[in-house]
Structure 1
Amino acid sequence: MTFNAIIVAGGSGQRSGGKKQWMPLRGKPVLCWSIEAFADAGASEIIVVVPRDDLDHATLTLQSVDRVRIVPGGATRALSVQNGLNALHETASPLDAVLIHDAARPLLTVERIEALLSRLETARAAILAVPVTDSLKRAEDSRIIDAPSRAGLWRAQTPQAFRLKDIADAYAAWPGDVEATDEAMVAAAAGIQVEIVEGAQRLQKLTYSEDFAVLEAFMPAQQMRIGQGFDAHRWGPGESVWLCGVEITHEQTLIGHSDADAGLHALTDAILGAAGLGDIGDHFPPTDPQWKGAASDQFLKHAVELIRAKGGEIINVDVTLICERPKIKPHRESMRQRVAEILSVEADRVSIKATTTEKMGFTGREEGLAAQAVCLITLP
């Protein structure tokens, strides 16, 4: 079934200590977990609705993510959803399915998405929900006045699934002075029968700062993996050299099949090694002409994508460049920032260092440059 997704990411973070959609959960922003789930499930387009003052941050954070379109939100959640629906009308069919989801529920799975879509084959609307298991009390002034039965009661979750035209028309008919707690409420008011698909406890909503620890307990345990890499290239005629993704003016260049960036090559091997995925030559053979003169950042990006595809995270990396010249210190911060950008991690997870061999060996005789790298990753 063709479907699109709307993720509402407009939380102010008053109770969680910050805008939770941008806070890290296992190394990546909360919002990104839901985006990845919808992408893995085959969403045609993913509309991400954010506050207007978050547009630049969202654009920067999600610039490399396919099928994502960022839309400014409204003053209320309902208005934000309607902005997302209006955006979808530009590209989607009225009969396409649309799944509306809260970014604050990051542990969405492909299985739950598929269950909703399956129900939507026969129902006009379906939501995820879990049965109420706690005893219920009604109170006034902190005094219990009633104990309603929990029989037949469910806690609504997201995503909530509809046909695009159905939910758009339902919102158009919804009175603007009444707050809608979710889309199921809006659909029901328009006469649309909403059906329940059983959700999951792991889909609980992030509200308070301590909820992060609760959600991490639902996630698979992680194991730590260490990898190391080494690379060396000889000097040859040239006017500049690439090191750790930064071009440095120099009277020589490093000779290699690609751009000979020894720092990125060593780091790529370290990351691949940590995951047991071979080495850079296995993935980018030096005999393949398509990699002639290639920028080495694409090799490192490939290694990172393989780690993330396995559900892993890069904790930190440490690169040491071994050479007499060029001087590395003036360029070290630029290198750190560039490597952090390629890895999509904070710069404080990246260390770039340099040393010499006191004129000994091939690097001391300035015949070539060497690099070594170490990384720590986690994998499920």
Structure 2
Amino acid sequence: MRSGIGTDVHRLVEGRPMIIGCLRFPDEPVGPEGHSDGDVAAHAACDAVLSACGLGDLGSNYGTSEPRWAGAAGAEFLTETARRATDAGFSILNVAVQVIGNRPRLGPYRTEIEDLMGAALGGVPVSISATTTDGLGLTGRGEGIAAIATCLVERAD
């Protein structure tokens, strides 16, 4: 077995949709800026899977210079990352993600987000949690949103 860790951070800006864990929050006035949809939960999860499999990170796999990934949804990254993990001979056992930010409140949507991300990964169990930073740093000031993820994989052999 191998474990991996991933992180992602995006600035929040007006005019962008708030998407976290493959779920859109239409009532949010700001969303994550980025080359793709800025889904910090999905991106951190991909980083964790890639790390666990020894396949690099999000940037080295889905660089901003690749037009295919411009505006891509987090679910697309998760599905492609799961395929790459499988092709490398790994089975993803689970992914856990903690989102760091003041908003949106994820508690009421936790199960839905877990189901969406798990489905995008091909049925992998996903756990989502959230926290604030008590007003400290870029997430505490509402300037950005972040996520940290872990993943456990095993050789499929």
Question: Shared fold by TM > 0.5?
Answer: yes
Tell me the distance in 1 between the aligned counterparts of 2:17 and 2:35: 16
Deviation at 1:321, TM superposition (A): 0.3
Match of residue 19 from structure 2: 242
Q: Is 2:130 the counterpart of 1:351?
A: no
Correspondence list, 1:91-106, <5 A: none
Match of residue 315 from structure 1: 93
Find runs of 4+ consecutive structure 1 residues off by over 3 angstroms.
Answer: none
For structure 1, which runs of at least 5 residues remain unmatched after alignment? 1-223
Tell me the distance in 1 between the aligned counterparts of 2:32 and 2:89: 35
CA contact (8 A) 2:53 2:90 kept: no
Q: Is 2:28 the counterpart of 1:229?
A: no
Match of residue 375 from structure 1: 151
Q: Is 2:53 the counterpart of 1:275?
A: yes
Q: What percentage of aligned pairs have identical amino acids?
A: 39
SS in 1 for 2:119: helix
Match of residue 118 from structure 2: 340
CA contact (8 A) 2:101 2:144 kept: yes
Correspondence list, 1:58-207, <5 A: none
Deviation at 1:311, TM superposition (A): 3.2
SS in 2 for 1:264: helix
Q: Is 2:70 the counterpart of 1:292?
A: yes
Tell me the distance in 1 between the aligned counterparts of 2:53 and 2:144: 29
Deviation at 1:291, TM superposition (A): 1.9
SS in 1 for 2:109: helix
Match of residue 201 from structure 1: none
RMSD of aligned residue pairs (Cα, Å): 1.3
With the length of structure 1 as denominator, give the TM-score of the two structures.
0.40
Tell me the distance in 1 between the aligned counterparts of 2:66 and 2:152: 30
Higher-RCO chain (CA-CA 8 Å, sequence separation at least 6): 2
Q: Is 2:141 the counterpart of 1:365?
A: yes
Tell me the distance in 1 between the aligned counterparts of 2:77 and 2:17: 20
CA contact (8 A) 2:16 2:33 kept: no
CA contact (8 A) 2:22 2:39 kept: yes
Tell me the distance in 2 between the aligned counterparts of 1:320 and 1:283: 22
Name the aligned partner's letter for residue 371 of structure 1.
A
Deviation at 1:239, TM superposition (A): 6.1
For structure 2, which runs of at least 5 residues remain unmatched after alignment? none
Count of residues in Structure 1 that have an aligned counterpart in Structure 2: 155
With the length of structure 2 as denominator, give the TM-score of the two structures.
0.93
SS in 1 for 2:5: strand
